[in-house]
Amino acid sequence: MIPTFLLLIIAGLWSYHGGLPALLVSNSAQATNRLLKIVNYQPFPFEEGKEARINMFVRTAGESIRFRLTHKVFLVTNPPTQVDQLRQTEKEFWAVTMTPQNAPEQEVTLPPDTETFITLRGPILTTAQADAMHSGKQVTLFVMGIAKYSNVSGHSSGATEFCLGYPANTQILVLCKDHNGPSENY
């Protein structure tokens, strides 16, 4: 059963990667900026004893960029189903998880005009967590992060925030309203 908050503003977007539709809970498109665009997300199967993982597909424009990624992947049981409660909970999660000591950076250089993916890794799943993700119980996988980047010459830079939820036993990604897109905060 799909929680109520998923049925709010629905724009099903299938990418040519065969990825999942994204539900946009805002008027913005996928996270984007002039040097980097996040084009899709694709979760791995949820298996006991393996990390919760999700691929983030990115596209670069123009020239090579240095890409610094800070992110967290975690499971939340009994997430709120009302929109206002969900937004407040998401803001609280962001404030706690995206502090430097809680979300270390990884860095990579991406070639120009390329589409590639980066695997975002989370906790090792217990039997109960893996079963919950398959059974449709009240559990959601959350992915939050900040992609900071600059061209290799250092003359142009930017940052893009991303935040999404993947409710158990669905084929839907829910993009957060407040933390998806270019950011001037970094």
Write the secondary structure of 168-182 as one string of H (helix), E (strand) and C (coil).
Answer: CCCCCEEECCCCCEE
* DSSP structure class, residue 52: E
pLDDT above 70 for 68: yes
Measure the CA–CA gap between 151 and 5, rounded to whole angstroms: 38
Please check whether residue 126 is in contact with residue 48, taking contact to mean a CB–CB distance below 8 angstroms.
yes
Statement: residue 80 has pLDDT above 90: no
pLDDT over 90 (residue 50): yes
Rounded-to-integer distance, Cα 14 and Cα 42, Å: 11
Percent of the chain with pLDDT over 90: 12
Greater confidence (76 vs 86) lies with: 76
pLDDT of residue 94: 84
| 53: phi then psi, degrees, rounded to nearest 5 | -135, 150
pLDDT higher than threshold 50 for residue 15: no
pLDDT score of 151? 84
Domain 4-180 has CATH 2.30.29: no
Rounded to 10 degrees, the C-alpha dihedral 16/18/21/22 comes to -70
**Residues linked to residue 109 through DSSP beta bridges, in sequence order:** 66
**pLDDT value for 127:** 92
Across 4-18, 108-122, 131-145, the highest mean pLDDT is recorded for 108-122
* pLDDT at residue number 32: 46
Rounded mean pLDDT of the chain?
75
Top mean pLDDT of 59-68, 89-98, 109-118, 136-145 is at 109-118
Cα torsion at 73, 75, 81, 84 (round to 10°)? -40
Element (H, E) at 126: none
